[in-house]
Chain A
C-alpha cells in the first residue's frame, strides 16, 4: 500500500505587512522540505516575505456545531464598535 507524504498547511506573509494568511497545502516528509515546497509552490509570483508551515494533523479547529455558542453571543455587543457612539461632527480627532 503506497502512502503519500504527510500534509502540511501553508501560511504566507506577503510583502505588504499583513499577517500570515493561509494559502493552501503541500506534502512533505520533514519541516525543511515543507518550507522548500511551500516556497516553490506558493511564492512563484513574488508573493512572499515569510512562510509558516504546520502539519495538518497538528491543527486544532473549532467544531462547526459550536458555531452558535462560540460566535453568536458577540452579535449583540455592538458597544464594542466605534460606530455605536454618537459624537457631534464639530468635534475633531475622535
Chain B
C-alpha cells in the first residue's frame, strides 16, 4: 500500500498518511536532537537544543493526535508514536540520520528547517481548520529554528579551517536526502487538491533560495547534481530508524499492560 505512494487510498487515509509525515518528521528529529542534552559543546547550546527538541516533540504530539482523529480508530499520539514499527513511520530520511558531530546536527537541522518553515507557512493557510491551528502555532517556533540553524551554519562554515571542513563534509553527506523532502507523490497531490496540504513547488523554491543564500554566507559549496535517496515518506527507511524506535518504544513494548 505505502509503496505506491498513496495512489489507491481513500481520502481519509491519504489525510492520515499526510499527517503522519508531518508528525513523524517532528518526532524523529526531536528524538535525535534530545540526545545532545548533557553532551553539547557549550552550556548555552544545551539550552537551545533542548528548546528546539521540545518544540518539535510538542508539534509531533499535535500532528499525531490529529492523525489519530482523522483515522477514527481511537489511536492517539502516544499509540502512534510507540506502537508503529519502522515501515509504518512516514518521516523523511533526512531526519533519521545520525547526529554525527555538531556540524552534522546543525546542517541536518538547517536543511530541514529551510523546508519546514515554508511548508508550515502554507499549512497555516490550509482549508482545514485543525491543520491551520497546529501550523500557525508551529510556524512561530520554526521561524526561530531556521534563524538559529542558519546562523550556526554560517558560523561553522565561515569559522576555522576545521569547522569549514566538517561543515562542508556534513553538507556533502546529507545532500542526497534533501530531494525527498520536496518530491511530491500522490498523497501530496491529493492534499493540495483537497485544500488541506501544501504545494511543494513553492516550498522547493523557498528552500533553494534560503539554502543558496546561507551557503554563500557560510562560504560552503553547494553539492552538484546527484542521485536523491527517497522512500522515508512512503515507509522505506534507512537502517537507522529501527534503532531509534527500538530505544524510544522500549517501555510500552516491554510492559504492554502498563500505564505511565
Contacts and interface: CB of A to CB of B under 8 A. Distances in A.
Partners in one complex: yes
Given A37-B48, A41-B47, A32 B42 contact: no
B42 A40 contact: no
**Most B Cβ at <10 Å: residue of A5, A32, A40:** A40
Contact of A26 (B44, B51, B148, B155): B44
A44 B54 CA distance: 11
Contact of A28 (B44, B51, B147, B148): B44
B44 A27 contact: yes
Task: Sort chain A's interface into a size bin.
Answer: 10 to 19
B151 A40 contact: no
A50 to B, nearest CB: 16
Contacts of A37: 44, 47-48
Contacts of B48: 36-37, 40
Nearest to A41: B47
Interface residues on B, range: 10 to 19
Interface in A1-46: 5, 26-29, 32-33, 36-37, 40-41, 44
A27 B47 contact: no
Contacts of A36: 48, 147-148, 151
Contacts of A44: 47, 51
B151 to A, nearest CB: 6
Contact of B51 (A27, A33, A40): A40
Contacts of A29: 155
A26 B42 CA distance: 11
Interface of B: 42-44, 47-48, 51, 147-148, 151, 155
Given A27-B42, A41-B44, A44-B51, 20 more contacts: A5-B42, A26-B44, A27-B43, A27-B44, A28-B44, A29-B155, A32-B151, A33-B44, A33-B151, A36-B48, A36-B147, A36-B151, A37-B47, A37-B48, A40-B44, A40-B47, A40-B48, A40-B51, A41-B47, A44-B47
